[in-house]
Structure 1
Amino acid sequence: MTVVINFTLFLLFAALIGSCIYATAIGRSLRLRLKKAEEHNQLFIDYLENFSIKKTLLDNVQSLFELVTKWIPTKGIVFLQEKPSSKGSLEPVLQLGNITREKWDERLRADPAKTTVKDSLLVILEKNGEKMGSLFAEFEKEMDQQLLRKLEKMLANQTLFFLETDYYFRIFKQELKEETLRLLGEFQKGCFPKIENSLAGFQISAKSLPCSRFSGDFYDSMRIDDNCQAFVLSDVATKGLASFFISAMCRIAIRSLTQHWRSPLDILCRLNELLYPEICGRTIISLIYMVVDEKRSTVTFARAGHELPIFCHNGKIEKIEFPGICLGIDEGRLFNKMVKEYELKLEKGDFLLLFTDGLIEAVNNEGVFFGRQRVENIVQELSGKDPEYVLNEMIDRLSLFCKDCFPFDDVTLLALVKK
């Protein structure tokens, strides 16, 4: 009887010890699983924080691949996309790890219904029935089939999301760019105001031929008082959108200055002071500023390195000359000394042409410049005509001269005739 009792107590003690050991093992296993789950959750949180539509498609797919390789020991993973030039032909565009082309080619050729591979997965990416690409991953050991299916679904959904996000973001950026350019184009039209019939006792006309979507040239007109009208013609020594912004800045500055100063010399000196800190070392601007006095029939000029006007009096070209250097070269000490005013008295029939250097520097197929002399000859020949006719003829002859050599610089013209 004593032996039976002792044996029973021993069994109970052993069971108690075993239960303690089992509970400890279960607790440790649970803690390990909870720790692993926390690590996986943190990896996923880091992945989500890293995602951004500002990143490229491949950057976001790579982040997804890195998340998978941290979760599951992986030999390699590859993202393949359809080649645009060869439908049905896949090319790797992103690859992590050591994975051979034979591996994914073999899996792509296999019948999915008969494939029971457990150490790799293949995800076909389709949208609206159109194949967009594939994902192939090879693991270091065999995986549970249920886990593989979940992983395939996650990879497919996430990568398709990236593809769609990338597509719509590119469409949005393109539409935004086009709308922005359209609005800027509408704004630039204001840099070329209609000036015909703006002067009493004169005929005036202006034309501009941009060599790209946005012109670095501009002309403008401002009424100073009852008798005087100011005109400006300018050329920024850069191309494209940058030249447009600089010319717009210059135009706004001039309009502001005309409210406080009258003389062309004062306007240019103060304009240079304003623009020099902004454009020094980046570009230079040539500009000519002219005030037409309708009552006195005079034109007063000041120029900042711009081409000298062409003046035709009594059917003959008369040379006019006055100094000036471009805006943005000097902060004012040299500029203010170099720029001078020049006044010209106009008589009936006198013809005056202002232009940017794109006109005389246009080149034909033989490398010959259109040149100032050719422009003077045209002005002398047609000075009896109205300004708009002369400018249209000038442009036609320029186009005929250049033929297939489209002008590499903007061309802007302003013509004035005393009636």
Structure 2
Amino acid sequence: MVLTEYLSKEALEELVDSFSCAGAFELEILSPDGEVLARSPKVHSNKDSSINKEEDFIRFELPAEAEIFVGGEHVGTISLRGLWRTGQDSSSTSVGVKDSSNLALSAERQIAISPAAWVELMRDVVVRLCDLSKQVRSRVEELSAMDRMTNTFTEKKDLKEIYQLVAETMVKVTGTDACSIRVFNEERTELVIMAAYGLSAKYISKGPILLSESKIDREVVESRKCVYVADERTDERVLYKAQARREGLVSALCVPMIYRGQIEGVIHVYTRRPHQFDWFETSMIQGVASQAAWAIVNARLYHEALQAESIRRQLRLAGDVQRRMIPSQAPKIPGFEISTIYVPCFDLAGDFYDFIELPDGKIGICVADVVGKGVRASLLMSSTRSALRAHANYVRDLPALIKAVNFDLWRESEISDFVTLFYGVIDPTNKTLTYTNAGHEPALYIHEGKIRQLDVGGGVIGISEDAEFSQETITLSSNDVLIIFTDGLPEAINFEDEAFGRERVYAAALEAWGRGDSADGIGKHLLWEMRRFAGLQSRGDDLTLITIKLQ
């Protein structure tokens, strides 16, 4: 290294000029190989012309010199070769360094110390300036590294890669020896190691860091500030002192990773020598920790978004499979009109309906509503449908049939899982409907302009092993209407949090029946009235509506 790598030639010339003005010296600053880097003029520019004459310059036989060291490396030499004399006669223009200390100058230029001391003083000033230049350059490099790190963070999406990059960057930017990154587990009770740099595998696997046991990490989390450890080997707050001693760790700075007020984890930066982190180092480490927290959270959100999209894709596929379980069209029964409306709230629905062709020419009709929504409700719906179809072809007695389905669900489902179900069997020959209602929304039977609720049956299925059910048979007449629906119809909410309600369902059904609407017309009128009532309010439940009309 050469002095000009710290200070420019122009800066050195200004320094030499300033020093020579201050003490009327002739100075030179030399490189380690003797090249002149800066030199003061022999005839000094001064308003006092009496000191500008060549004969007034006194040259030392041996110049006073001081070598300049920066960071233990020789970068140059400062040399004082002579000085100017004013207001005094001298018989000699060349003196020794020892004698030169007694030279008498004018009052304003009086030298109180020897040339050797002067040159050492000037050497110290140059060294200090070099140190400052070196420090500024180091800070600029650190800030540049931090900027590069930030740009790199934005490009990385792999969490493991980001963790490791943060640990490595922290050491390189701050000039420390090692770094570890730990983040909270889901319960936020333990700090789990995610990455380390400059630490042995044995030290990394030394044991869990429980927040309740680690005083240092708890202090970081509670104070939300950096915590300094002068000596990891002896500090009583350190959880694994013996391991730190074997690893050779001494000083440490523990920094919280905070993103939008939430502490994501703690970064530990270590040195293997006693070290007091100054303000800039602490600020730098905090800055890196903040950038790291931002990058880690963003990467985590990115992966969560990918996972969420994957789940949504799987749910859409599952929804497609589920919808294929729903009959694509109603069966054709002579003398009957059948209309269906199915409006799921999500990709996976808890409502379902089914038509089951029975061996004796009868048609089984089922409308069910599974508790909850989403995957759990969809699976329970599939189980209910499978159980019903499995038993319907062999069990003719409806209470016995629903009891068998209830037992299957009770045995296989959780205590909180249950299903409401309306199941009826139409006999086209005898024009009868035999039904049982297992805790479901009562179906509506319109006969001669009057509405009757079909609510005979029992409780919901899947709750009790010993549930009992009953059935009812009604004889159907021409122009009679049967409406079976789930609670998504009467429980539709408007912007005033008012439910559509059964009364409005009844009124809309009677209005459509009174006009002589077909089964399809009655169903669509009910749906229109419900939507007109609810407006643009988002739906919170699935809707299934089956309308049957005798011709």
TM range (shorter): 0.5 to 0.7
Q: Name the CA shift for 1:108/1:198 in 2 (closer, same or farther; >3 Å).
A: farther
Contact 1:76 1:95 in 2 (8 A): no
1:312 aligns with 2:446: yes
Looking at structure 2, the residues matched to 416 and 104 of structure 1 have their Cα atoms a distance apart, in angstroms, of 83
Contact 1:196 1:203 in 2 (8 A): no
Q: Deviations over 1:124-173 (max 9, x none)?
A: 89xxxxxx9459xxxxxxxxxxxxxxxxxxxxxxxx9x999968854653
Looking at structure 2, the residues matched to 322 and 287 of structure 1 have their Cα atoms a distance apart, in angstroms, of 12
Give the share of equivalent positions with the same residue, in percent: 24
Contact 2:350 2:542 in 1 (8 A): yes
Matched residue, 1:106: 280
Q: Name the CA shift for 1:103/1:217 in 2 (closer, same or farther; >3 Å).
A: farther
* Correspondence list, 1:121-136, <5 A: 133=291
Question: More helix by proportion, 1 or 2?
Answer: 1
Residue 351 of structure 1, aligned match among 478, 481, 492: 481
Looking at structure 2, the residues matched to 370 and 122 of structure 1 have their Cα atoms a distance apart, in angstroms, of 57
Aligned length: 315
Matched residue, 2:252: 75
Q: Name the CA shift for 1:84/1:388 in 2 (closer, same or farther; >3 Å).
A: farther
Matched residue, 1:19: none
RMSD: 4.0
Residue 381 of structure 1, aligned match among 462, 487, 511: 511
3-state SS in 1 of match to 2:458: coil
Q: Name the CA shift for 1:327/1:80 in 2 (closer, same or farther; >3 Å).
A: closer
What letter matches 2:540 in structure 1? F
Contact 1:197 1:203 in 2 (8 A): no
Looking at structure 2, the residues matched to 345 and 238 of structure 1 have their Cα atoms a distance apart, in angstroms, of 35
Matched residue, 1:38: none
Residue 491 of structure 2, aligned match among 347, 350, 361: 361
Q: CA deviation at 1:95?
A: 2.4
Q: CA deviation at 1:251?
A: 1.1
Gaps of 5+ in 2: 1-179, 206-231, 233-243, 271-275
Looking at structure 2, the residues matched to 366 and 166 of structure 1 have their Cα atoms a distance apart, in angstroms, of 39
Contact 2:331 2:355 in 1 (8 A): no
Contact 2:349 2:374 in 1 (8 A): yes
1:402 aligns with 2:518: no
Matched residue, 2:463: 329
Matched residue, 1:199: 333
1:229 aligns with 2:403: no
Q: Name the CA shift for 1:168/1:59 in 2 (closer, same or farther; >3 Å).
A: farther
3-state SS in 1 of match to 2:457: coil
Q: CA deviation at 1:395?
A: 1.4
Residue 95 of structure 1, aligned match among 261, 266, 270: 266
1:61 aligns with 2:194: yes
Looking at structure 2, the residues matched to 403 and 199 of structure 1 have their Cα atoms a distance apart, in angstroms, of 36
Looking at structure 1, the residues matched to 305 and 339 of structure 2 have their Cα atoms a distance apart, in angstroms, of 42
Contact 1:273 1:331 in 2 (8 A): yes
Looking at structure 2, the residues matched to 365 and 168 of structure 1 have their Cα atoms a distance apart, in angstroms, of 35
Gaps of 5+ in 1: 1-46, 86-90, 111-120, 126-131, 136-159
Looking at structure 2, the residues matched to 352 and 134 of structure 1 have their Cα atoms a distance apart, in angstroms, of 64
Q: Name the CA shift for 1:345/1:93 in 2 (closer, same or farther; >3 Å).
A: closer
Q: CA deviation at 1:208?
A: 2.5
Q: CA deviation at 1:370?
A: 1.8
Contact 1:122 1:134 in 2 (8 A): no
Contact 2:370 2:381 in 1 (8 A): yes
3-state SS in 2 of match to 1:184: helix
Instruction: Give the TM-score of the pair, scaled to structure 2.
Output: 0.49
Instruction: Give the TM-score of the pair, scaled to structure 1.
Output: 0.63
Looking at structure 2, the residues matched to 309 and 73 of structure 1 have their Cα atoms a distance apart, in angstroms, of 78
Q: Which moved more, 1:317-326 or 1:219-228?
A: 317-326
Q: Deviations over 1:21-71 (max 9, x none)?
A: xxxxxxxxxxxxxxxxxxxxxxxxxx9xx9xxx9x9x84535667639954
Looking at structure 2, the residues matched to 323 and 170 of structure 1 have their Cα atoms a distance apart, in angstroms, of 46
Q: Deviations over 1:62-102 (max 9, x none)?
A: 56676399544451365868x699xxxxx985324589xx9
Contact 2:337 2:519 in 1 (8 A): yes
- Greater Cα radius of gyration, structure 1 or 2: 2
What letter matches 2:388 in structure 1? I
Q: CA deviation at 1:302?
A: 1.2
Q: Name the CA shift for 1:182/1:67 in 2 (closer, same or farther; >3 Å).
A: same
* Correspondence list, 1:278-297, <5 A: 278-279=412-413, 281-297=415-431
